[in-house]
Amino acid sequence: MLPPSAELRRFGLGLLLAMPVAMALWWFLLAPYLMLAMEPLVEWTLRLLWPQWGLGLEAKETLWQVNTTLPILEQPLRSAVFGLPWKRFSVAFALFWGLALATPGARPVLRRVRQLLLGSLAGIAPLVILMAVLYFHFELAVLINHRPYLTVQPPPYHVLALPYADWQFHLIGVGRQLALLILPTLGPVAVWAALNQPFLRAVVLSGPSAQIATSLPARASNSLPTTASTASDRADGT
């Protein structure tokens, strides 16, 4: 295995090559298929968490449209509709692919493909569902409480539902920030780190520890002559 610094350089160069390729594949080719594949899972999860609203998911060009049975007070024949920006969530797939492809190592192609599938299905897919749930919960709370929060304004209509308490409303707002700012970037890194622990231990963790271990004997050897000379000077003085 190469020294840790060389492995880190290979990983950095791999990121420069693999990440644009993964982002391009996601944006231009795979994003619509991911949206269709994730749609029934997200719809099932929303219905499981909010069965009273009769939630249904419909795929649009740039979002998932969530149809509900929440009655609009100003228009009794209409129900509330929400939009979920699915690309904001599914970008986690591309980030994980870029990290996994950039990781150096003499692994066969089949093992690398297996890691991509495992991380995508067992790690990133549940993460996308979680982000969609957190985002929808925030939009639902803003509509029900009819209060602006985090630069989001409520729509110009009201629905018939019990409002959330203040502490619940602010906690749901934190969930929205996680869904849009934290989980799309740190989530793929966490999944990649869980699947590449040998690389992290060998390169990231062993590098600084090895430098510290080699520097300690050098410092000790440099301090010995100084100690010896100091003792001899004291002897001469006496």
The verdict on residue 92 lying in a domain is yes
Residue-wise pLDDT tens digits, 185-226: 999 999 999 999 888 888 876 655 545 444 545 555 555 455
pTM: 0.82
For the chain, give me the number of helices (H) and strands (E)?
Answer: 9, 3
pLDDT at 221: 54
The verdict on residue 213 lying in a domain is no
Residue-wise pLDDT tens digits, 117-158: 999 999 999 999 999 999 999 999 999 999 998 888 998 999
The verdict on residue 238 lying in a domain is no
Statement: residue 15 has pLDDT above 60: yes
Average pLDDT over residues 109-124: 91
| Element housing 87 (H / E) | helix 86-102
Residue 136 amino acid letter: F
Among 198, 73, 196, which residue's Cα sits nearest to residue 146?
A: 73
pLDDT at 41: 95
Residue 13: domain span: 4-207
pLDDT at 30: 93
Statement: residue 43 has pLDDT above 90: yes
The verdict on residue 215 lying in a domain is no
pLDDT at 228: 47
The verdict on residue 140 lying in a domain is yes
Say what percent of the chain tops pLDDT 90: 57
Calculate the alpha carbon distances from 121 to 65, 101, 125, 150 in Å.
23, 16, 5, 32
CB 18 within 8 A of CB 98: yes
Reported as a pLDDT band with limits 50, 70 and 90, residue 89 is: very high
Cβ-based neighbour number of residue 177 at 10 Å: 13
The verdict on residue 212 lying in a domain is no
The verdict on residue 79 lying in a domain is yes
pLDDT at 215: 52
SS3 75: coil
Beta strands in the chain (DSSP E): 56-59, 64-71, 79-84
Calculate the alpha carbon distances from 90 to 33, 68, 93, 146, 213 in Å.
11, 23, 6, 29, 43
State the chain's mean pLDDT as an integer: 85
Q: How many domains, in total, are found in the chain? A: 1
Unique residue bearing structure tokens 């231990």: 201
The verdict on residue 54 lying in a domain is yes
Average pLDDT over residues 57-63: 85
Calculate the alpha carbon distances from 232 to 219, 220, 224, 227 in Å.
21, 19, 12, 9
